[in-house]
Amino acid sequence: MSTTNNRQNVQASGKLYQFKLVLLGESAVGKSSFYTVYIQTLYIGDLDDVFQAKILVLRFVKDQFDDYRESTIGAAFLTQTISLDDNTTVKFEIWDTAGQERYKSLAPMYYRNANCAVVVYDITQPSSLDKAKSWVKELQRQADPNIVIALAGNKSDLSARRAIDSEEAQAYAADTGLLFFETSAKTAVNVNELFISIAKKMPLEQLAANSRGRGSGLKQRGVDLTSPTPANNCSC
């Protein structure tokens, strides 16, 4: 499908929503793995068909989850477009950030104009929740006031080594007005649920295409559901 045709299609027949999501959190809590899983989800399934997608994701993730993913320096980003139906297309721009405290000064560049943020901590690392809280504070102070923030306690597959109470994090999330899930990027548990909740909380009508003011020609790349190529094959 040529991009020109696609653009015309979108303009002619449907609505295009675009949103920018930023992943924040301490080093090695699984941010980058998180978005790998997420992208695979988008490739495979339709947001409504959670069950089917999850099965598929599980299968893919088992092959592709990488315990030793290279660290992220500065930031990495990825965009993905999915068609909800013939008339609605949603485009995601996902920013993955470096976890090390030192890179913090770069973060505003990445969360600027973000519509949603997923702040990730590692349930086996007590310090990572504190770090997550400080990210939440920073976002609430500096980011777009309408930003939807979700807190994700990742690595729930390692519950034997749990160091952070579910309830504690849950209570904090409730107090602060965050979405909250305990997730596992490795087994894909709750990853879909998290993103669906975010999607539901997004005021879609306000996210009309081109909200970022980046040129006028927003091209689309088609979503090819038949070939779930790994979206993120970092070989460096």
Partner 1 sequence: MATFATDKEINETFQQDVHLGVNSFSAIAGVEDRDVAPATATTEIFGRFQALKTLLHPNLCEYVEIVKGKHDRLFVVFEYHMNHLGKLYQRNEEGNIQVSPKIGIVMLREWAFQILKALAYLNQNGITHHNLAPHNILLDIEGRVKLADYGLYYMTNGGEDVDFPIGYPHYLPPEAIYRRADMPGASGKVDVWSLGVILAEIFTGSPFWVGNDKDIERLFSSLWKLQEAEHDDDIWEKYYIWDWDLGINEAIMEFLQVTDEDDIVDFRRFIRACLEVNVSKRCSPEQLLSHPFFSPSYEDGLGSNYKYWWKKPFLQSQKIYFDENLLELIDDQPNKDVLHGLPLSQIYYFWKLAGGDVETELAKRGYLLSTPPIERIPRTVKVQDGKEEGTTEDTAFLFSDNIYTLSLKELRQRLEVATGPNREAFEWDTDYFTQVDEDDMNFLVEEMSNNDNSDDEIFGKYLFPDPNSHKVVSSSINGQTASPIPLMNREKDVGYQFQRVVLFSELLRQYPASRDEIIHHAKVDIPPFLRGKIWAAILGVKGDYQALYDSYNKETETTTDRQIDVDVPRCHQYNQLLSSPIGHEKLRRLLKCFIAANNKLVYWQGFDSLCAPFLTLNFNDEALAFSCLHTFVPKFLQDFFLSDNSPVIKEYLAVFSHLLSFHDPELSDHLVKIEYHPDLYAIRWFLTLFTHVFPLDKTYHLWDKILVGPPSLPLFIGISILRQLRDMLLKSEFNDCDTFSESFPDVDIEKCIQSALSMCKVTPPSVMYRVHEPFATPNSSHNGIPDHHIQRWWEQPVPIEVKKTELAPRISFKDLAKLKNYVLVIDIRSEQDFSRGHFPLSVNMNPAHLEQFTQVLKQENKKYHVVLGNKGDSGPQFAAELVRAKFPRVAVLTGGIDVMRVDPVEGGVSICSCPNFTTGSKNGSAAYRKCRIFKEK
Which of 2, 12, 85, 105 touches partner 1 by CB under 8 A?
A: 105
Which of 1, 58, 106, 208 touches partner 1 by CB under 8 A?
A: 106
Neighbours of 147 (CB within 10 A): 18
Please tell me the number of Cα atoms within 13 Å of 234 on its side-chain side. 16
Residues between 46 and 75 with contacts to partner 1, criterion CB under 8 A: 68-75
Residues between 209 and 228 with contacts to partner 1, criterion CB under 8 A: 214-215, 217-219, 221
Does 2 interact with partner 1 (rule: CB under 8 A)?
A: no
- Residue closer to partner 1, measured from CB, 41 or 72: 72
b/e map 94-119, b = 16+ CB within 10 Å: bbbbbbeeebbeebeebbebbbbbbb
Which of 1, 55, 109, 225 touches partner 1 by CB under 8 A?
A: 109
Count of residues that interact with partner 1, criterion CB under 8 A: 35
Which of 16, 53, 57, 98 touches partner 1 by CB under 8 A?
A: 98
Question: Could you tell me the smallest distance in angstroms from the CB atom of residue 36 to partner 1?
Answer: 11
Please tell me the number of Cα atoms within 13 Å of 118 on its side-chain side. 32
Which of 25, 45, 99, 153 touches partner 1 by CB under 8 A?
A: 99
Q: Which one-letter DSSP state was computed for residue 117?
A: E
Residues 6+ apart with CB under 8 A from 37: 57, 61, 65, 185, 188, 191
Angle in degrees, 0-180, between the axes of helices 50-64 and 191-201, rounded to the nearest 10: 130
- Residue closer to partner 1, measured from CB, 163 or 171: 163
Tokens 């675009």, residue?
18
Chain contacts with partner 1 (rule: CB under 8 A): 27-28, 68-79, 91, 93, 98-100, 102-103, 105-106, 109, 214-215, 217-219, 221, 232-236
